[in-house]
Structure 1
Amino acid sequence: MKNGKTPVNWLRSFEVAARHLSLSAAASELNVTPAAVSQQVRLLELRLGEKLFVRHARGLRLTLAGEALVPVCRESFERLDTALAELFGDRGKQQLVIRVSLGFARQWLLERLAGFARKHPEIPIRLVTTVWAGEPLDSSVDVDIRLTAGPIPGMQSHQLTHDAVFPVCSPGLAKAPPRLRRPSDLRHRSLLTTIGFAEGWRHWFAAAGIDPEPSATRLEFDSMRLALEMAALGHGVALARSSYAEDLLRAGRVKPLFNVR
């Protein structure tokens, strides 16, 4: 078989011809000429290096290679048709499409969404996750859950959480010398940073009245959840939003530091 992508219309012509075992019937379904169907099938055979049909006066007969290819093509086209119907058909248009960051979905939304689905089984739901909170608004999304400083102009907004922001670390690290007794002690600890988090360490240190340029080692993550998991393992101090850290706090895997939030 030659390298490169196989044109879909060659495969479609083959699948229809295999279903009818007739070039004329295939041409009628595809609204092309029998010669066009024959040409596309021959091009597919040349590409694959295999004969797919035995041609005779009464029509077509599949070869072993053709018989093997038929179910692959048929299943692929059925899956494509199903996906298109779900995305663009009546069923897709009736879906409730929700876009949310992966971390917030896992830590806050999923359990609540399951409850909503039980109460409203008649509403199909499609959840689309994203890493970055600042992606452009999309008209195909019904509910866009994102972290913002306030309502987005022209959009109807509802606040879901009232988060506190505070540093956390593992219980073991909190007890390890030198002890973390005040915010300035963090200057010489590994700080776990979430990329794109507007209210990050610089903002927190400024609120605590400390030089916002600590000399601590920093590790960066594109997900707050990853930073929190690293903190739970004892490898640094992470800045947490309360909604993201609820389960880790309940389980005692991390503990809040100080009283500055």
Structure 2
Amino acid sequence: MKSLPNLLWLRSFEAASRLGSFTAAGAELGLTQAAVSNHISALETRLGHVLFERTTRKVELTESGRAYLQPVRKALQDLAVSTEGLFGSKSSGTVTIRAPISEAVLIIAPALVEFQKVQPDLDIRLLSAIWADTVLETGVDIEIRLGAGNWPGCRAEPFGSEFVVPICHPDIAKTLKSPNDLSGLSLVHILGFDDHWPHFFEALKQEGPDNTKGVTVDTSLAAVEWAAAKGGVALILERIALRLASSGRLAIPFGTRIPSGQNHYLIHRDKAPSQNPAAQTVENWLRGLFSGE
């Protein structure tokens, strides 16, 4: 990295190349014409090549300048995209949502299509995480968690009760007349929800099937894909199962549902700054999305 030129010099070089003027480049960057000229001269001295042909009315790139412009512009663009992707925009119209990965993919992302038709001026960033304690302390405007609602350092606003139901491929569902038919089928277990299957059979007042075959995954998203591939039967949140069943991709074989034991919460961090109007708009939309309104 020691061979890299000063970033300010590179910004002045890119702006002057694009605008064809040191004066215009200075206006865009908030610098004087003399400052831009000094940056370019310093860069040329550092590289040992003349980058611009100066005339009284404009500047033009030399052959060396044209060759250098493309990698410099790409590097600056990559840096801008990476910064925006990791830390977000500071504009009032940008709202960053953080949610569990399965909810982000299976609940929020599909609903965002219609929401953005109503709110086209809002720039939404949707971040996901597998575990609730994987905390992003900065850059998140709205955070949704699934759990018991007892996280330190914040107030948890409940979105309502959650239930889980079995799902499977429609072809498998046709062979299931009652929960007794689950015997011999592979059951998927989700880390963090390991007690769901025992509770499911307990609610039915029957013993679970005596089989240990199956898979264990760490997200409901993986469980959905496993069930869709005819791997067997999974227990997932009812709100996700209903959407997938309505599309015909998966089916809910029985009418039995049990409380999840974990609900969705909107997280309000202690000492967090007040939200801007854009974030409040998105937050209200999420309340309606998770309440079914």
2:143 maps to 144
Q: Structure 1: how far apart are the matches of 2:73 and 2:255?
A: 63
Identify unmatched segments of 5+ residues in structure 1: 46-50
1:224 alignment partner, one of 216, 220, 227: 220
Instruction: Please tell me whether the aligned partners of residues 101 and 131 of structure 1 are also in contact (alpha carbons under 8 angstroms).
Output: yes
Q: Which residue of 2 aligns with 1:108?
A: 107
Measure, in 2, the Cα distance between the counterparts of 1:81 and 1:190.
Answer: 47
Is the Cα contact below 8 Å between 2:163 and 2:238 reproduced in 1?
Answer: yes
Residue 130 of structure 1: how far off its partner (Å): 0.9
Under a length normalisation based on structure 2, what TM-score does the superposition of the two structures give?
A: 0.59
Q: Cα RMSD over matched residues?
A: 4.6
Aligned residue type for 1:12: R
User: Residue type of the partner of 2:251?
Assistant: V
Counterpart CA distance in 2 for 1:164 and 1:60 is 67
Report what 1:254 is aligned to. 251
Instruction: State the alpha-carbon separation in 1 of the partners of residues 229 and 217 from structure 2.
Output: 15
CA distance in structure 2 between the aligned counterparts of 1:70 and 1:60, rounded to whole angstroms: 14
Aligned pair count reads 241
Question: Which of 41, 44, 53 is residue 44 of structure 2 equivalent to?
Answer: 41
What is the CA–CA distance in structure 1 between the aligned matches of 2:148 and 2:43, rounded to whole Å?
57
Q: Which residue of 1 aligns with 2:11?
A: 12
Amino acid in the other structure paired with 1:208: F
Look up the match of 2:95. 96
SS, match of residue 243 in structure 2: helix
- C-alpha contact (below 8 Å) 2:88/2:139 kept by paired residues: no
Q: Secondary structure at the match of 2:172?
A: helix
The residue aligned with 1:241 is 237
Long gaps (5+) in structure 2: 259-293
1:152 Cα deviation after fit: 4.2
Deviation at 1:241, TM superposition (A): 0.9
Structure possessing the higher relative contact order (Cα contacts under 8 Å, 6 or more residues apart): 2
- Structure 1 residue 235: Cα displacement: 1.6
Three-state SS of the structure 2 residue aligned to 1:145 is: strand
Distance 2:245 2:54 in 1: 75
Question: Normalising to structure 1: TM-score of the pair?
Answer: 0.65
For 1:1-261, list aligned pairs within 5 A: 6-7=4-5, 9=7, 11-12=10-11, 14-15=13-14, 19-20=20-21, 31=35, 34=38, 38-44=41-47, 51=49, 53=51, 62-70=61-69, 73-74=72-73, 77=76, 87=88, 89=90, 92-110=91-109, 112-120=111-119, 124-134=122-132, 135-136=134-135, 138-150=137-149, 152=151, 155-174=154-173, 181-182=178-179, 185-186=182-183, 188-194=184-190, 196=191, 198-200=192-194, 202-206=195-199, 208-209=201-202, 215-250=211-246, 251=248, 253-257=250-254, 259=256, 261=258
| Alpha-carbon shift at residue 11 of structure 1 (Å) | 2.9
